[in-house]
Amino acid sequence: MSVTAAKGFTAAGSAVGIKKNGNPDLALVVNRGPSFAAAGVFTSNRVKAAPVKWSQQVLKGGRVRAVVLNSGGANACTGPQGFQDTVATADKVADVLGLDAAHVAVASTGLIGTLLPMDRLLPGIEQAAGELSEHSGEKAAIAIKTTDSVHKTAVHQGAGWTVGGMAKGAGMLAPGLATMLVVLTTDADVDAAGLDAALRDATRQTFDRVDSDGCMSTNDTVLLLASGASRLTPEYGEFASAVRAVCDDLARQLIGDAEGSSKDIRIEVVGAASESDAVEVGRSIARNNLLKCAIHGEDPNWGRVLSAIGTTSADFDPDRLNVAINDVWVCKNGSVGEDRDLVSMTGREVRITADLAAGSESAVIWANDLTAEYVHENSEYSS
């Protein structure tokens, strides 16, 4: 049901000719109110795409009436012309729907460093507006795909209210955020401050802990729009938990569909002196190419886990580190533990547990293995 699961939203997903292959490439999500509260979280990359710069300004007002998203071009590193194109896109949506452009968020995804075909995108907005429907959430999710093999949606039902959403992302996935466009909608009546708190809390523990390939995008955008159409205002904790559940669901779908991957790696760091130590160690393990190759080869090469831990500044004693792979403690006290031949790695999910023996904090990071298919897909992306 995607972004139209919650009441008060319409959506469209149209093929307007931005992608050369004719696949759907333009999505619209429109909030019909009565509330228009919104929150957003954006990439921490200092090189930001034009639509990110625009939408950051829009979200400062805490009010979004429509989101326009295109695949087929990131509109990043496109200079003043690229920014003008984003403004023209928001203006066109505002014009067609009778809104103020200051309430129109824009998101783009695709190749960096090429201008969007505005001669097709602007008429495409008229076409998409004509296709807006309460039943087109799935179509919108399909239209934002790039190298995604499947579209990603999730829904959580509260007591009389709903949180739903869609996501795209299959590569350049790394903390802060993963390369993704995400639009979440709810018919709960929550103000912008409440949405912002719930969204930041959720992304910090979900999208920010997905690290497919260590590469941080220029375009990451996660938006949460509230229509208030349910006329219900849930208790904050309950609402935040629902937002987090939807984000967690979508984040897992991103990892499960990462480019060329054959394994999903769940890295749990336990016994950490602080949560930030746990996250730092988890990311270091997640980014170790040698380990990612070993897991691809179903080789429980735990020495590569230890060498990754050793590059961090976290609190630990190398002689007290313990590591389990799929629950077999192959490393105990920094040295050889249980027999590595006991480890079976045939399933898609591989669990690595790293015990720092330095405290009681923990964190989970999700990553993927490194495969020849990943190399193949990313050797030819722009050519």
* Residues that constitute the known binding site: 146, 168, 179, 259, 378, 383
168 counts as binding its own copies under rule CB under 8 A: no
* E strand residue ranges, the chain: 9-14, 26-31, 38-42, 66-70, 104-108, 152-157, 162-168, 181-186, 210-211, 221-226, 264-272, 322-325, 328-332, 335-336, 349-355, 361-368
334 counts as binding its own copies under rule CB under 8 A: yes
For its own copies, the closer CB: 166 or 178: 178
Interacting residues of 355 by C-beta distance below 8 A, sequence separation 6+ = 270, 271, 321, 322, 323, 324
Stretch that binds its own copies, among 63-71, 72-80, 128-136, 248-256 (CB under 8 A): 72-80
CA distance 179 to 173: 5
Task: Scan residues 118-137 and list those touching its own copies (CB under 8 A).
Answer: none
DSSP 109: B
Q: Is 53 helix (H, G, I), strand (E, B) or coil?
A: helix
Please provide residue 368's backbone torsions phi and psi, each rounded to the nearest 5 degrees. -125, 165
Please provide residue 150's backbone torsions phi and psi, each rounded to the nearest 5 degrees. -135, 155
Task: Report in angstroms how near the CB of residue 318 gets to its own copies at its nearest.
Answer: 5
Among 28, 30, 199, 294, binds its own copies (CB under 8 A): 294
Task: Report in angstroms how near the CB of residue 289 gets to its own copies at its nearest.
Answer: 5
Options 179, 186, 353, 371, the catalytic residue: 179
Stretch that binds its own copies, among 23-31, 111-119, 126-134, 148-156 (CB under 8 A): 111-119
Stretch that binds its own copies, among 31-39, 141-149, 183-191, 367-375 (CB under 8 A): 367-375
Among 84, 253, 274, 307, binds its own copies (CB under 8 A): 307
311 counts as binding its own copies under rule CB under 8 A: yes
Among 23, 134, 301, 361, binds its own copies (CB under 8 A): 301
47 counts as binding its own copies under rule CB under 8 A: yes
370: left (phi over 0), alpha (psi -120 to 50) or beta: beta
Residues 329, 275, 302: CA angle, nearest 5 degrees? 25
SS3 per-residue string spanning 172-192: CCCCCCCCCEEEEEECCCCCH
| Spatial contact of 291 and 305, defined as CB atoms under 8 Å apart | yes
42 counts as binding its own copies under rule CB under 8 A: no
Rg from Cα positions in the chain:
21
Size of the site for its own copies (CB under 8 A): 69
Task: Please indicate whether residue 371 is annotated as part of the active site.
Answer: no
Among 76, 104, 154, 367, binds its own copies (CB under 8 A): 76
Stretch that binds its own copies, among 94-102, 157-165, 242-250, 330-338 (CB under 8 A): 330-338
For its own copies, the closer CB: 127 or 312: 312
Report the candidate in 44, 16, 11 with the shortest Cα–Cα distance to residue 217.
Answer: 44
Interacting residues of 359 by C-beta distance below 8 A, sequence separation 6+ = 271, 272, 273, 274, 277, 315
| Spatial contact of 48 and 218, defined as CB atoms under 8 Å apart | yes
Give me 87's structure tokens.
Answer: 């403004």
74 counts as binding its own copies under rule CB under 8 A: yes
Task: Report in angstroms how near the CB of residue 172 gets to its own copies at its nearest.
Answer: 6
Question: Which spans of this chain sit near its own copies (rule: CB under 8 A)?
Answer: 45-48, 74, 76-82, 111-115, 171-172, 213-218, 287-290, 293-294, 296-299, 301-304, 306-312, 316, 318-319, 321, 330-331, 333-336, 370-372, 374-383
Active site members: 179
